[in-house]
Structure 1
Amino acid sequence: MSGNEFRFFLSCDINLPVKFRVDRLEGTLPSIKSPNSVNDRSGINSTTEERRPELYVECALYIDGAPFGLPMRTRLESMGPMYCWNEPITLSTKYRDLTAHSQLALTVWDVSCGKDERLVGGTTILLFNSKMQLKTGKQKLRLWPGKEADGSLPTSTPGKVPKNERGELERLEKLINKYEREQIQRVDWLDRLTFKALEKIKEQENFRNGNSYLYLVVDFGRLEHRVVFQDSGANFLLPAPITSTNELVIVWDPEVGKINPSEHKQLKLARSLTRGIIDRDLKPSNAERKSIQRILKYPPTRTLSGDEKQLLWKFRFSLMSEKRALTKFLRSVEWSDVQEAKQALELMGRWEMIDVCDALELLSPVFESEEVRAYAVCILERADDDELQCYLLQLVQALRFERSDKSRLSQFLVQRSSHNIELASFLRWYVSVEFHDPVHAKRFYSTHEILEESMMKLTPGVDGEDGYKLWQSLVRQTELTAQLCSIMRDVGNVRGNTQKKIEKLRQLLSGLLSELTYFEEPIRSPLAPNILITGIVPSESSIFKSALHPLRLTFRTASGGTCKMIFKKGDDIRQDQLVVQMVSLMDRLLKLENLDLHLTPYNVLATGQDEGLLEFIPSRSLAQILSEHRSIISYLQKFHPDEHGPFGITATCLETFIKSCAGYSVITYILGIGDSQYYTRFKSYCCEAYNILRKSSNLILNLFHLMAGSNIPDIASDPEKGILKLQEKFRLDLDDEACVHFFQDLINESVSALFPQMVETIHRWAQYWR
């Protein structure tokens, strides 16, 4: 697209609900005194206690000064400052229903005072700017203390920051918005340094202003093109008056991007002519065969052109023995044509059986046909429980794209899980985390109910546990995490250093919450459901020294041992859960090709939108090792010595280390191996692993495609862009030999590179490994 072109959507054509994200509250709230405080005779509060506010944001839409639709509320947030909801809001109103004077009214309330809600402040923002374009990106709104958001016209609570409060920070925030809209070129290493400098500037500005102002940050996201307001009754936009006869006028064409009726009719006629008996004997020419083979190599994210769809439909009968052609053929079907859809489904039943990874593609939002999705489930039934668990997170997300609450996919997941307690536990957690989704909550809750009904009907197994006991063991997992949330609130209210908070934790476990020390009935570990935990060991439980104060808990097990977990509240760990799941999947794919790189990711489980459990693995950080031993080689020589081994290290230890490092070549800089036989072996492992994972690129891309509808922030912001970036990493345009040269060059560049963030980056990566 040239710089002079302006592509846009008309608001009246967008049949989607209005969406935005309530991000965070900036500034310092005034302290709140506890109602239980006692005044002495002088009238001075002698037992002043500050209470932690519990805030939520009420979001209401006003059209032409009048309320429209039902207001929506965010969840309660008490982990401040800064109070960060980062919560998507979907209104019942659609973009096509908006007027030019539609505005959003946002009011912040505090419920920590008990029954009486305290009004923190309110603000409003018009959804269209002065150019009648829909506002996009992050908007920083001035909050008016003690005032409820005023949706009338003109409003008394405008969100636009007054001029006397604007400064360097506002200019920088505008640049950040441009950066997020990709109007500024991205340079990773420079961007990281820049954002660190921005944080320092923000701290200085807040200190200069004394945090006297409160701001609410909301993110309107962005669509593929700008959205221009047009009333649904209008047929065109009036151009601005021409001031000069030599002025170039760009005419906005609302039909840009729409289907050409004449071309569509010609295509239908061509397909109707080839729908007869003659198609059965058609064979592609050499040129057509090459084109078909090129299409079949397309990644699952590639959209087929009209000519490509026509080519696949024309030779559909000759392609039936090619199993990898089925998904491409189904993409070429005109599903609105009843006869064509009927014939496609008939051919699908006779097609060569496809692989499980291709079945995952058929569960993506691209395919709406219930018959096609049911066929995909039939293919999934061939997978064993271990393989199914690798895809379970994405299969739960695929429930969003089903057409009914009790779909074939939902019934399949329940049926397999009801006979495998590990699958049942993870399925229950995966659907429970999605209950907050206002659009699909009913669908996930329905699956939860079906799972409960199915498990309750189970008869006692070999271990004597019936369905009721099994289900109750899973329900108690939720009760346990609820108690841990309560503990974190109590510990968080303790003033003082981390040691005092640890003492409070152990005091609670030994006193008021002593039932957590020894459970009445064993509970299945949420991270490893095959392990029964029987209680918490107070003396071995602690708190990490960080802003969120995660709990480090030691649990007794029924076998007489212990296991350690971390419980975090106030942080969305679904991103970590996805990363660890993909590492586990790639480890499985490599082992299937007899390449074991000793990848041992820890277990992660999100138990809520902002909470979760992580497996605790006793270890020392990379920074500590480097500070005490100066190099990793010295560290390995001390703990794995061998006088006759390479570098004075046991050969087994060094081999394991080299393999585990093959996933990120930058570590070779710190290891300092250089061009020796071990560095060559290291590069060999890298290239071999890369080509093995390239073979499974369709599987990995399909799994990420199924996550497109999730609310994970890094994915939800722009799922298509994220999937395309992932696709680029596989370099599907190169053959295996060319990829070896490509990846070797990549390793050499990484080894010779010197950047300040080296240690920090590796330390972050190392957290995913033992």
Structure 2
Amino acid sequence: MGTLCDAQRKVDHWTMSCGKLLEDIREEKQMDGAGRINNEFRFFLSCDINLPVTFRVEALDGEPSPASSNSVLDEWHSVPELYVECSLYIDGVLFGLPTRTRLASVEKPYRWNELITLSAKYRDLTVDAQLALTVWDVSLPRQEVAVGGATLILFNSRKQQLKTGKQKLRLWHGREADGSVPTTTPGKVPKLERGEIERLEKLVNKFERGQLPHMDWLDRLAFKRIEKMKLEESKRTGKTNLHLIVDLRSFEHPVAFQELGTPLPTQTPNFSAGNLDLVTVWDPEVGRQNPSENKQLKLARSVARGVIDRDLKPNSSEKKEIQKILKHPPTRILSGDERQLMWKFRYSLKSDKRALTKFLRCVDWSDAQEAKQALDLMRKWAPIDIADALELLSPVFESEEVRAYAVTVLERADDEEFRCYLLQLVQALRYERSDNSHLTFFLVQRAVQNAELASFLRWYVAVELHPSYARRFYCIYDILEDVLKKTPSGEKQWQNMVRQTELTAQLCSIMRDVKQARGGTKKMIEKLRQLLSGLLSELTYFDKPISLPLDPKIMITGIIPSESSIFKSSLHPLRLTFRTETGGKCQIIFKKGDDMRQDQLVIQMVSLMDRLLKLENLDLKLTPYKVLATAQDEGMVEFIPSTSLAQVLNDHKTIISYFQQYHPDEHGPFGITAACLETFIRSCAGYCVIMYILGVGDRHLDNLLLTKDGRLFHIDFGFILGRDPKPFPPPMKLCKEMVEAMGGAESEHYGRFKSFCCEAYNILRKSSNLILNLFHLMAGANIPDIASDSEKGILKIQEKFRLDLDDEEAVQFFQSLINDSVSALFPQMVEMAHRWAQYWR
């Protein structure tokens, strides 16, 4: 017994003092950098790291005390649903958009284990940059409750070194994380408030990061003792702390804070004998503009303002250079010589509508006299196209007069064209300098004239509402509400929108209840129909018709329980059949727990490209089904009766056999009607081109669907802009079964397919500026594959257009892409592996 007591005392002594001793020794070694450790100068500067800020949200640690009146978790019902909202604050101001994790599972501890990628890069961070992390519970009906929040400062305050590895943050019960400086919700307990438990937690964190030595037998005893001490402390105080565990990104060397463009603090390296390591010396002039060149530029423009030769014309070589500049994509930054050339011949370029955006890019807006001259000239310029007007609404242009001019150009668009750009115009509100901007009132004005546009505007804005970053969106939301309520018809329209919101909230509640049913998908479907026929019978027959959020032209009157079902997938989306006011039916898919905004963007682009192709008399039989995000983790999708290509091949062996069942024609090609084959060929061509341009990844036979009339279309756009979970993906999804359905690689039908592809590619290349500008406006929308690196994503799309080629060269290029896609062997192996995985699943 005495031996055991002595061992216990030794464990306690190690727990209390060993970690502290090692920490002091480590700090002394780091302070002694000149002689031993830091003489190698191996570190990174934060301003040099052009990578997005990433970290992993792992789990929620700890259980709330039932006796605590401040614990929000006491009010949970049996199935809590938690997610973590992650925001980055720089100098107390929100940077970019918050990012949400998925909903946590019901098992405890609540785990997410989700990698979060923010739009900010490490080079953007300041010494006061901090992460604000809030755990929210959405299990309560129609409200989100803050479980607790914590703020993590990314740089060590004393060493100004980037924190890495696992961090255990104490949550402030019932409070949202505060990103102000100084924060009121620090995840690390201040020194003055630290007790023995907090000191031990800090040592445990260091132990988990590998900063303390491991000794298995002693570690087990120590952790057992720590848990016992924590339990005794919670019993004594009657309070249990919740902790959020996050894992920050680690680098090969320490990352020291350094602002972009700031000289490195001078240090005198102490070279030991024989040390021949290279030392990087900071040059403060690197990356800065040449002052003599800036002076020359100002003098040249000053002379031009004094004695202006309005009839000055460029010579032949200057004309060629100007034409080259005008062909630059909107992503291209003009060089100093190019800017000077555009300014010099600005008066001779007034009649060329393509030149205005390039001219405005070369203006020095900090020079009041030059800015005034540019604005006067802008008003006299030849009217520009709507694609160029969208470029003027990007964050590149801050002048309110320039942005107001862009709005006047957009007024020329009819409702159909305006609808194509509405999603991006809402996002452009982020870059306005005032709440009551011309763009805000323009959007409201167009919305009140068209009920369909008003409904979509309201949903696009509602998805972006959040207290910490949505001032512009709250402003337009309030203005739209006020304007609509001033007229009887507008008041009725607004009430209809409110009922749409109530409907989506009820559908979310149904999904939560249905997920509790045990016994698989069958039991869930029974539970769904039971709810619709019993407790929620008011959803089967509405008091008044409601316009369908997905398509406001359709008025729905209730849900048909017997024709509603649930898909067999991890999120268990609902397939709902609604009655319509005209006596018909419409089917939608409702998802909860998935961000639908990326799918919404892709389908919008498919619709736009379909319109551009049809304007050139090329109908490729596309199927741009409707998608609407009703929140950042929920949304609706139009249900198109169809069958996956994998299922078609499994049941019928070939695509032609499938068509023969529904469209037989013994005199037609391959025993089917010519119209059915033509539809299939055209739709294959259209989606091959569009999916290639958008860089859609993760293409397999389960997300290629086929309708009975021959239309092929794609679904599930979780990977775009070149991202793909599969190795070595082909340029486009064109499997051998699709080629065989056209008669093989030597058939005339396959030749027409390639002809349609090349024609569509060249048509869409003509509208490259429009598509690039639309994606540029979406850069701040926090859509996963854009937010990770918006500049890189837009450049990837630009690269797909191959603007360096003429039309003939583009045809040859695209034909080679088709050949590469058909002959690629590795994707066939991956597809086979995917089919086997689906079979065993």
Query: Do the structures match in fold with TM over 0.5?
Result: yes
Whole-angstrom distance in 2 between the partners of 1:327 and 1:254: 33
- Residue of structure 2 in register with 1:530 after alignment: 553
Q: Is the 8 A contact 2:579 2:585 kept in 1?
A: yes
Whole-angstrom distance in 2 between the partners of 1:762 and 1:414: 51
- Residue of structure 1 in register with 2:794 after alignment: 723
- Residue of structure 2 in register with 1:199 after alignment: none
Shift of 1:713: 1.3
Aligned positions of 1:329-728 closer than 5 A: 329-436=359-466, 438-439=468-469, 441-458=470-487, 466-662=489-685, 663-664=687-688, 666-667=733-734, 669-671=736-738, 672=740, 673-728=744-799
Q: In the superposition, relative to structure 1, how do residues 761 and 240 fare at CA in structure 2: closer, same or farther (>3 Å)?
A: farther
Q: Is the 8 A contact 2:132 2:149 kept in 1?
A: no
Q: In the superposition, relative to structure 1, how do residues 744 and 428 fare at CA in structure 2: closer, same or farther (>3 Å)?
A: same
Whole-angstrom distance in 1 between the partners of 2:151 and 2:357: 49
Whole-angstrom distance in 1 between the partners of 2:482 and 2:313: 52
Q: In the superposition, relative to structure 1, how do residues 135 and 669 fare at CA in structure 2: closer, same or farther (>3 Å)?
A: farther
Q: In the superposition, relative to structure 1, how do residues 156 and 106 fare at CA in structure 2: closer, same or farther (>3 Å)?
A: farther
Q: Is the 8 A contact 1:106 1:149 kept in 2?
A: no
Whole-angstrom distance in 2 between the partners of 1:738 and 1:118: 58
Structure 1 unmatched runs, 5+: 36-48, 167-213, 460-465, 765-770
- Residue of structure 2 in register with 1:275 after alignment: 305
Q: Is the 8 A contact 1:310 1:332 kept in 2?
A: yes
- Residue of structure 2 in register with 1:307 after alignment: 337
Q: Is the 8 A contact 1:140 1:216 kept in 2?
A: yes
Q: In the superposition, relative to structure 1, how do residues 106 and 694 fare at CA in structure 2: closer, same or farther (>3 Å)?
A: closer
Whole-angstrom distance in 1 between the partners of 2:807 and 2:250: 39
| Segment drifting more, 270-279 vs 364-373 | 270-279
Q: In the superposition, relative to structure 1, how do residues 557 and 502 fare at CA in structure 2: closer, same or farther (>3 Å)?
A: same
Amino acid at match of 2:500: Q
Shift of 1:120: 9.9
Whole-angstrom distance in 1 between the partners of 2:138 and 2:443: 40
Whole-angstrom distance in 2 between the partners of 1:745 and 1:31: 62
Amino acid at match of 2:580: T
- Residue of structure 1 in register with 2:223 after alignment: none
Shift of 1:632: 1.1
Whole-angstrom distance in 2 between the partners of 1:452 and 1:710: 23
Q: In the superposition, relative to structure 1, how do residues 221 and 288 fare at CA in structure 2: closer, same or farther (>3 Å)?
A: farther
Amino acid at match of 1:80: S
Aligned positions of 1:208-219 closer than 5 A: 216-217=245-246
SS in structure 2 at match of 1:530: strand
Whole-angstrom distance in 2 between the partners of 1:336 and 1:761: 60
Whole-angstrom distance in 2 between the partners of 1:221 and 1:608: 33
Q: In the superposition, relative to structure 1, how do residues 127 and 633 fare at CA in structure 2: closer, same or farther (>3 Å)?
A: farther
Shift of 1:157: 3.8
Whole-angstrom distance in 2 between the partners of 1:233 and 1:652: 67
Whole-angstrom distance in 2 between the partners of 1:291 and 1:695: 21
Please state if 1:127 is matched with 2:152. Answer: no
Q: Which of these residues, 293, 305, 328, is aligned with residue 358 of structure 2?
A: 328
Whole-angstrom distance in 1 between the partners of 2:140 and 2:549: 34
Whole-angstrom distance in 2 between the partners of 1:340 and 1:69: 32
Q: Which of these residues, 716, 736, 739, is aligned with residue 810 of structure 2?
A: 739
Between structure 1 and structure 2, the one with the greater Rg is 2
Amino acid at match of 1:25: E
Amino acid at match of 2:105: G
SS in structure 2 at match of 1:531: strand
Q: Is the 8 A contact 1:517 1:536 kept in 2?
A: yes
User: 1:331-356: per-residue Cα shift (whole Å, max 9, x none)?
Assistant: 00001101100010111111111111
Whole-angstrom distance in 1 between the partners of 2:303 and 2:792: 38
| Segment drifting more, 52-61 vs 350-359 | 52-61
Q: Is the 8 A contact 1:324 1:354 kept in 2?
A: yes
- Residue of structure 2 in register with 1:46 after alignment: none
Shift of 1:551: 1.0
Q: Is the 8 A contact 1:356 1:379 kept in 2?
A: yes
Q: In the superposition, relative to structure 1, how do residues 164 and 321 fare at CA in structure 2: closer, same or farther (>3 Å)?
A: closer
Whole-angstrom distance in 2 between the partners of 1:657 and 1:519: 40
Structure 2 unmatched runs, 5+: 1-40, 69-75, 174-185, 192-197, 213-242, 689-731, 836-841
Q: In the superposition, relative to structure 1, how do residues 755 and 54 fare at CA in structure 2: closer, same or farther (>3 Å)?
A: same
Q: In the superposition, relative to structure 1, how do residues 761 and 368 fare at CA in structure 2: closer, same or farther (>3 Å)?
A: farther
Q: In the superposition, relative to structure 1, how do residues 646 and 235 fare at CA in structure 2: closer, same or farther (>3 Å)?
A: closer
Shift of 1:557: 0.5
Q: Is the 8 A contact 1:10 1:229 kept in 2?
A: yes
Shift of 1:572: 0.4
Whole-angstrom distance in 1 between the partners of 2:754 and 2:445: 45
Q: In the superposition, relative to structure 1, how do residues 350 and 56 fare at CA in structure 2: closer, same or farther (>3 Å)?
A: same
Please state if 1:53 is matched with 2:80. Answer: yes
TM-score normalised by L of structure 2: 0.72
Across the two proteins, how many residue pairs are aligned to each other? 675
Amino acid at match of 1:562: K
Shift of 1:528: 0.7
User: 1:446-477: per-residue Cα shift (whole Å, max 9, x none)?
Assistant: 11111122222346xxxxxx221112111211
Q: Is the 8 A contact 1:123 1:144 kept in 2?
A: no
Q: Is the 8 A contact 1:568 1:612 kept in 2?
A: yes
Q: Is the 8 A contact 2:566 2:572 kept in 1?
A: yes
Say what the alpha-carbon RMSD is for the aligned residues.
Answer: 4.3
Shift of 1:568: 0.6
Aligned positions of 1:56-95 closer than 5 A: 57=84, 78-80=103-105, 83=112
Q: Which of these residues, 46, 55, 58, is aligned with residue 25 of structure 1?
A: 58
Q: Is the 8 A contact 1:105 1:149 kept in 2?
A: no
Shift of 1:647: 1.8
Whole-angstrom distance in 2 between the partners of 1:62 and 1:586: 38
Aligned positions of 1:172-211 closer than 5 A: none
TM-score normalised by L of structure 1: 0.78
Q: Is the 8 A contact 1:57 1:73 kept in 2?
A: no
Whole-angstrom distance in 1 between the partners of 2:276 and 2:526: 79
Shift of 1:27: 9.0
Amino acid at match of 2:82: L
Amino acid at match of 2:545: P
Shift of 1:83: 3.4
Shift of 1:666: 3.7
Shift of 1:638: 2.6
Q: In the superposition, relative to structure 1, how do residues 614 and 110 fare at CA in structure 2: closer, same or farther (>3 Å)?
A: closer
Whole-angstrom distance in 1 between the partners of 2:800 and 2:286: 32
Q: Sequence identity of aligned pairs in percent?
A: 62
